[in-house]
Structure 1
Amino acid sequence: MTARQLDTKGGPGDREPRTSATAFRPDIEGLRAVAVVAVVLCHAGIPGIAGGFIGVDVFFVISGFLITGMLWREVTTTTTVRLGRFYGARARRLLPAAAAVGVATAIGSAVVLPPLQARSIFVDGIASALYVGNYRFANQGTDYLASDLPPSPFQHYWSLGVEEQFYLVWPALIIATAWLARRAGRPVGSNPSPQRAPYVVVLGLIGAASLATAIIWTRTSPPWAFFSLPTRAWELAAGGLVALSVQQWRRLPLLPAAIAGWGGLVLILLTSTQLGPNTPYPSTAALLPVLGTALVIGAGCVTGSLGAGRLLCRPIMRAVGRVSYSWYLWHWPVLLLLPPLLGSPAGLPSRLAATIVSAGLAVLTMYLVENPGRFATALRRSAKASLALAGAASAAIASVCVLLLIVIPVPRGHGVAAQAANMVTLPPTNPTADPRHDPVPSAFAQVRAAVAASAGPRAVPSNLKPSLAEAPADKAAVFVNGCMRSFRQVLHELGHDGCVSGDTASPTTVALIGDSHAAMWDPALQRIAEQRHWRLQTLAKVTCPMQDLPIDSPYLGRHYTECEQWRGQIIAHLRAEPPRLVVLSMSRRYRPDFSFASYDPAWIETLSRTVTLLHSIGSDVLVLGPVADPQMPVPNCLSAHLDDATACAAPRSAAADSGGIAAEQAATTAGGGHYADLTDLFCTPDRCPVIVGDTLVFRDDNHLTTEYAQLLAPAIGALVDGALSDQ
């Protein structure tokens, strides 16, 4: 049956809709349209399509079906696979468009984004050109469904990395299976009839192992589960199993096949609307779109343009399917780069505009780049020329990114060297001293003066510490030595003796407890403990506030059981060894998708209850208020405003929630603890400068640099002394 015959709508007189194994499948072209529209609308934030990311899974199943069928037919016909021809065809199909979009993305990032952010994106581009971008993103723990940091315009290239790695592995797998079948005396060639069973067994085992890995890694290492080939191979294998079972599918009666096809399509559409960023993925949730895609493809072997093909084979669906690859390539960088290019907020109107622009660019790319590269006669006749094209395309992206790394230097402050904002270290409070000589106001006055002196217009100083390039890595030791537990670690797994500093033999213990916003104060508390001869114990866990709140993790995509277990262990530890003082700190960036939000009634109520509990075990309690929220990644912003750091200074009204702070203060006092409003350590009455003296305040969009935490040690020390002396 020809492609033209398959393209008909079908009707009562169509009694032979079954397709041959090698026939062009217009319904699959239409299925690509469903997949790309789901992905694009999801990434554009269109309401109701939160699960549209499953479109990538649909693409993987389609690839597994087409590539496995192609390789199996060749190996059973010729007993081998012509690898040069295979890779040449894949190169012509994918790489010219990928190179064109990749080069444009790198140049666009250089023009639109802050230099520091752009340089990181160029490295992403190099990794993507080498087809290992998915592992770079996995290693970074990147998750563009939940991350607070700006996503990379190359991030969607992760799926191309999986595809390219699949193309490297799958032919070897098919060839090896054919060799083993020959060794076992099984027919491999077309005469006698080739055996499918060995290939089905191999793909089934690989698929089962991959699915098991995906389920485990989704819980233990979500970024690696999302981005890596080992956890996505089962989706490709599912498509391959459909390809190997075409004969069985073709035996289905037309009505059951049509029901299966429509059911599969409904399953894809339902998962696009019912799944979301908090769904653990890929894990078992990915079974739904994978099964749906397998049903559509398998049923299409029978129904052709009937059944679900009535929709998928429509001209508009096929037209979108033809442009789906280029649209997928363009949609993500345009979504990220168009709003800042136009100076407009990334709201729904701008996202819709970006979607339309990316579709137009996709059409141009298909006609000007994709199709000429794919169908050029000279390339189709020569595997060597096609492979040379592959090398040139990859080299183009990598070379442009390397060149841009050279052209755009590491951003450095070039303003006049600033004087250090030295704070006078005050002696510990004497409990019997006159309360009118409270050192807290004196310490805060020093910081307020330094902050006010740094609030005016100024260039980024040449002696900034840490430098903009060093800032993202400027983490306190507790962030890297295991004292701040990761998502899956709890207290007993690592012990806690290694998280003690200061005078470790001192009878006075101060415990610093909370999430990463507690850990970032460790450098300040260490200085205080050393001066006061205290024993400091730091106990922190990522995105885990100490309040007894049921918590879901958008980063893990599930209930955060490790956090709740860790809280219980902390309380048990404190009961067994009550510290003299507990310093409690936590981020105030928790959103409703954690099952609670900072400053909401549950937050305030559980804060008071937590302070009461800690006080009841015999410890004084000091709750540190929030740091000012800079509203953006500070080093990136400064790299784009080297001549005016005030451009990155948020208004005090936006950076500090005065109502929430007042509610926390009242709750802490009611629980018998002490509360420290820290806003004046960061803000003037109007704005919150991000450089104080020669010190950078934030290393990202919410964590302090080690240097600024240490700079504030005298003020924090005065607060700690006050909490201990007020008994």
Structure 2
Amino acid sequence: MTAGFLTTSRTRSRAERRQRGRREPGAEMIERSSFRPDVQGLRAVAVGVVVLFHANLSLFKGGFVGVDVFFVISGFLITGILLREAERTGRVRLSEFYAKRARRILPAATVVLIATLVLTVVFLPQIRWESIGVEALASAFYVVNWVFAAGTDYLNAEVAASPLQHFWTLAVEEQFYIVWPLILVLMLALFRRRPRDGAVGDHGTRALPAARIGVLIILVPSLLYSISYTAADPAPAYFVTTTRLWELAVGAALAVFAPQVARLPHLLGTWLGWAGLAAIIAATLLFSGSTPFPGYAALVPTLGAAAIIAAGMNGRAQTGVGRLLTLRPMRWIGDISYSLYLWHWPLVVVATYLLGGVLQARYGLLIVAFSVLPAWLSYRFIENPFRDWGWLRKSARRSLLAGAGLMSVTALCAVVVHAVPAAMNPVYEAREGVRIGAEALTDDFSNDDLSTFTDAGKPVDRVEGGFTPSAIDARKDNTVVYALDCHLDSSESIPKIDGCIFGDPQSDLSVVLIGDSHAANWAPPYIALAQEHGWRLRISTKASCGFSRVSQSDGEGGEYTACNEWARNSFDEVLEEHPDLVVTANRGTRAVYQEGLSKKEARKAYAEALHDDLAALNKAGIPTLVMNETPHMDSDVPECISANLGHLTACATPRDDAFGSDANVRRAVKGLADADIIDMTNWVCPDADACAAVVGNVIVWRDSSHFTETYARTLAAPLDAALQRSDVARAALGPAA
């Protein structure tokens, strides 16, 4: 999203003008494409749909496609710059090219990065400082898209968005600016020949063929990989450079094939421009978070942007759709679009946190409108002055050194912000003989099922002696099933068997724990019991996917096909394995995929389908248990604790809010003699009024609905007692369960 904001000199040497007649017809358009008023307006369209999407306007749920429009613009303009130099000189001066990029990109980006770090320290809880520090460091060196790609797993699904997340687009573009010029230099070398009679224009006869082959080397493999990887694993595919290079290459292709594109008939060009705008608008209105992206879907906004740029060639920039795009307000927004893109997102993220984690559209619009002010100031006093600073322009070396200095300043600030929280967060050290976690609630698990509440679990503002893990470490305090890949992500559908066996692998007594992440929630105490009692325990869980063969929803209104395949495979695997007991746990929001059903009806239908599957297992002689629903806290608990170290009651959730109805859990086992419910709710929420964030010196939650492993391990003894009280479990596991 950087080169899309560049304007370059439109002057030409006399020698170039004399040689125009020797060029391929239409080639002169390339050198004139340095400034396009309609492209300036297209930038306004791109940044407009992005900021309205980030403002949480439901109508613009596909507004993320504005980024793809910027990619095309950038590829087009950058390639025009490179080709003009190649035509004049037969080569590309990389040092001068990168010096211009440094003057154009780094000053505004550096100011926003440092300002975001300041906003982070002033307004955001310390638990977010570490990750934001890493992201700022990666943003300074333009590799942050790979950081975000690596962090798009299920464990981070409920973590608040980073105020630097938008820098992934700049990282992709900067990496393109490394790859594409180098390929062009290589292709020019392969096509090198001596100019005739010293004629400057003859360089162009090899620059275009070289560039055309080079751009196809990027475009075709990247597009094919984007389609493949998006289908296989859409979360990281959204961020990685290899799935996005083709979008910039589409813009580059427009520049290198400009002589042919410019020959479009005027009427066809007019209609093409309007069709391109319609494609961008359609993608903005019809796409959503459930749309696999980029992949095939990215062709819609990308080709739409290319169509608008193509339509404006050959003097048509202010006709057709260009009349709209070249209006003064559109061009003004286009002028500040780079800074507007940089500034609006950190302000949106900070405002979202200050407003309690939810940004309503009316507040989102206010934040976006306010961000125009720092964007204009940045454009007026940072972007333009640094780009036009004569002292820097005279020397590529000075520009590159200045850029390196700006990156170093950002890196230093990022390291400081990253390092501070670890030094400031104490860790509770349990004294000898002191029970922690659920163990602190009672000393007699075998006789006390905690059917009544206890003051030991009441929320308090301060915990004597502190707590463990620290708020900073709570997110990483997770069950081993994730590290062993027993918990599949959203794209996987084949249950993993090897490496997911716990306890005694040779035992004659076998148990299967299966379901979504709430089943993984219970892995630590079940693993502890398997080790204690010598069971063979197999764990198989999948992100946001319940253990039922019914067609399930992906939560965005679409069909969760990978889940459906996994559930069917898992059911068949369980039948073949024929364990002594199957335990399943699923989030209460699991729902079937079926048109016309309300959320309540879809969840009820899922419970009924689960009932049928449990009945089928029971009929096959396999008893089943269903863990009652896990409460859902109304905040990201570690983040809340980090912000309220002396006021922990602020992180408690009223019991009535934390627990939904257990009607669907009861519906799943109703009438089944070999199915039962294991209810551990009072051990997770021991107080009558509210669920505490910390119980017995242990943080209970690593997000809003998943336990820390430290707390989950302390549930082993009360879980053992609950299994003993269940006739189904006792019959399956024996009296020594």
Q: TM-score, normalised by structure 2?
A: 0.88
Deviation at 1:415, TM superposition (A): 8.3
Letter in 2 for 1:678: M
**Aligned: 1:320 with 2:300:** no
Deviation at 1:407, TM superposition (A): 4.4
Deviation at 1:460, TM superposition (A): 4.6
- Name the CA distance, whole Å, in 2 between partners of 1:301 and 1:188: 27
Structure 1 486/667 Cα, relative in aligned 2: closer, same or farther at 3 Å?
closer
Letter in 2 for 1:151: A
Which residue number corresponds to residue 179 of structure 1? 189
Alpha carbons 1:625, 1:675 under 8 Å: kept: yes
Which residue number corresponds to residue 83 of structure 1? 94
Which residue number corresponds to residue 541 of structure 1? 542
**Aligned: 1:255 with 2:267:** yes
Structure 1 593/131 Cα, relative in aligned 2: closer, same or farther at 3 Å?
farther
- Name the CA distance, whole Å, in 2 between partners of 1:594 and 1:635: 36
Deviation at 1:367, TM superposition (A): 0.9
Match of 2:692 among 676, 682, 689: 689
**Aligned: 1:457 with 2:468:** no
Alpha carbons 1:134, 1:157 under 8 Å: kept: yes
- Name the CA distance, whole Å, in 1 between partners of 2:586 and 2:319: 58
Deviation at 1:631, TM superposition (A): 2.3
Which residue number corresponds to residue 268 of structure 1? 280
* Coordinate RMSD, CA, aligned: 3.1
**Aligned: 1:217 with 2:229:** yes
Which residue number corresponds to residue 482 of structure 1? 485
Deviation at 1:249, TM superposition (A): 2.5
- Name the CA distance, whole Å, in 1 between partners of 2:167 and 2:594: 29
Alpha carbons 1:523, 1:706 under 8 Å: kept: yes
Alpha carbons 1:411, 1:639 under 8 Å: kept: no
Match of 1:444 among 430, 450, 455: 450
Deviation at 1:333, TM superposition (A): 0.7
Structure 1 344/506 Cα, relative in aligned 2: closer, same or farther at 3 Å?
closer
What SS does structure 2 have at the residue aligned with 1:194?
A: helix
Deviation at 1:253, TM superposition (A): 2.5
| 1:166-565 → structure 2 map (5 Å cutoff) | 166-182=176-192, 190-191=201-202, 194-195=205-206, 196-302=208-314, 303-341=316-354, 346-413=359-426, 419-421=434-436, 442-444=448-450, 448-449=453-454, 452-460=455-463, 462=465, 464-491=467-494, 494=496, 496-553=497-554, 559-565=559-565
What SS does structure 1 have at the residue aligned with 2:112?
A: helix
Structure 1 402/712 Cα, relative in aligned 2: closer, same or farther at 3 Å?
same
- Name the CA distance, whole Å, in 1 between partners of 2:582 and 2:354: 48
Which residue number corresponds to residue 132 of structure 2? 121
- Name the CA distance, whole Å, in 1 between partners of 2:467 and 2:203: 76
Letter in 2 for 1:162: V
Alpha carbons 1:645, 1:690 under 8 Å: kept: yes
Alpha carbons 1:478, 1:484 under 8 Å: kept: yes
Q: Identify unmatched segments of 5+ residues in structure 1.
A: 5-15, 426-437
Alpha carbons 1:75, 1:188 under 8 Å: kept: no
- Name the CA distance, whole Å, in 1 between partners of 2:215 and 2:49: 28
Percent identity of paired positions between Structure 1 and Structure 2: 36
- Name the CA distance, whole Å, in 2 between partners of 1:518 and 1:184: 70
- Name the CA distance, whole Å, in 1 between partners of 2:439 and 2:209: 79
- Name the CA distance, whole Å, in 2 between partners of 1:327 and 1:706: 42
Deviation at 1:209, TM superposition (A): 0.3
- Name the CA distance, whole Å, in 2 between partners of 1:594 and 1:42: 27
Deviation at 1:531, TM superposition (A): 2.9
Match of 1:714 among 705, 717, 720: 717
Deviation at 1:137, TM superposition (A): 0.3
Structure 1 208/19 Cα, relative in aligned 2: closer, same or farther at 3 Å?
closer
Deviation at 1:680, TM superposition (A): 1.4
**Aligned: 1:674 with 2:676:** yes
Deviations 1:139-172 (A, max 9, x none): 111699x942201000000001011111111211
- Name the CA distance, whole Å, in 1 between partners of 2:449 and 2:403: 63
What SS does structure 2 have at the residue aligned with 1:584?
A: strand
**Aligned: 1:158 with 2:168:** yes
Deviations 1:210-248 (A, max 9, x none): 000101110222233211221111111111111012222
What SS does structure 2 have at the residue aligned with 1:699?
A: coil
Structure 1 441/625 Cα, relative in aligned 2: closer, same or farther at 3 Å?
farther
Deviation at 1:408, TM superposition (A): 4.4
Structure 1 693/542 Cα, relative in aligned 2: closer, same or farther at 3 Å?
same
What SS does structure 1 have at the residue aligned with 2:60?
A: coil
Deviation at 1:409, TM superposition (A): 4.4
- Name the CA distance, whole Å, in 2 between partners of 1:642 and 1:554: 34
Q: Identify unmatched segments of 5+ residues in structure 2.
A: 1-7, 11-25, 733-737
What SS does structure 2 have at the residue aligned with 1:531?
A: helix
Deviation at 1:250, TM superposition (A): 2.5
Structure 1 142/25 Cα, relative in aligned 2: closer, same or farther at 3 Å?
farther
| 1:38-57 → structure 2 map (5 Å cutoff) | 38-57=49-68
Structure 1 115/593 Cα, relative in aligned 2: closer, same or farther at 3 Å?
farther
- Name the CA distance, whole Å, in 2 between partners of 1:594 and 1:395: 54
Letter in 1 for 2:275: G
- Name the CA distance, whole Å, in 2 between partners of 1:562 and 1:46: 30
Deviation at 1:332, TM superposition (A): 0.8
Deviations 1:393-434 (A, max 9, x none): 212322222222344444524889784247679xxxxxxxxx
Alpha carbons 1:89, 1:386 under 8 Å: kept: yes
Alpha carbons 1:414, 1:460 under 8 Å: kept: no
What SS does structure 1 have at the residue aligned with 2:334?
A: helix
Which residue number corresponds to residue 130 of structure 1? 141
**Aligned: 1:141 with 2:152:** yes
Deviation at 1:346, TM superposition (A): 2.0
Alpha carbons 2:139, 2:171 under 8 Å: kept: yes
- Name the CA distance, whole Å, in 2 between partners of 1:500 and 1:26: 64
Letter in 2 for 1:507: D
Deviation at 1:485, TM superposition (A): 2.7
Match of 1:635 among 615, 633, 638: 638
Which residue number corresponds to residue 79 of structure 2? 68
Deviates more, 1:453-462 or 1:590-599: 590-599
- Name the CA distance, whole Å, in 2 between partners of 1:268 and 1:221: 25
Deviation at 1:445, TM superposition (A): 5.0
Deviation at 1:66, TM superposition (A): 0.7
Alpha carbons 1:42, 1:51 under 8 Å: kept: yes
Letter in 1 for 2:164: F
Structure 1 635/592 Cα, relative in aligned 2: closer, same or farther at 3 Å?
farther
Deviations 1:611-662 (A, max 9, x none): 21221121221100122212222222111111122111111111111x2x13
What SS does structure 2 have at the residue aligned with 1:323?
A: helix
Alpha carbons 1:607, 1:664 under 8 Å: kept: no
Alpha carbons 1:417, 1:461 under 8 Å: kept: no
- Name the CA distance, whole Å, in 2 between partners of 1:609 and 1:184: 79
Alpha carbons 1:97, 1:365 under 8 Å: kept: yes
- Name the CA distance, whole Å, in 2 between partners of 1:681 and 1:143: 25
Letter in 2 for 1:197: P
Which residue number corresponds to residue 106 of structure 2? 95
| 1:578-657 → structure 2 map (5 Å cutoff) | 578-590=578-590, 600-657=603-660
Deviation at 1:316, TM superposition (A): 0.6
Deviations 1:418-463 (A, max 9, x none): 84247679xxxxxxxxxxxx977723359x43xx313242325545
Structure 1 249/49 Cα, relative in aligned 2: closer, same or farther at 3 Å?
same
What SS does structure 1 have at the residue aligned with 2:298?
A: helix
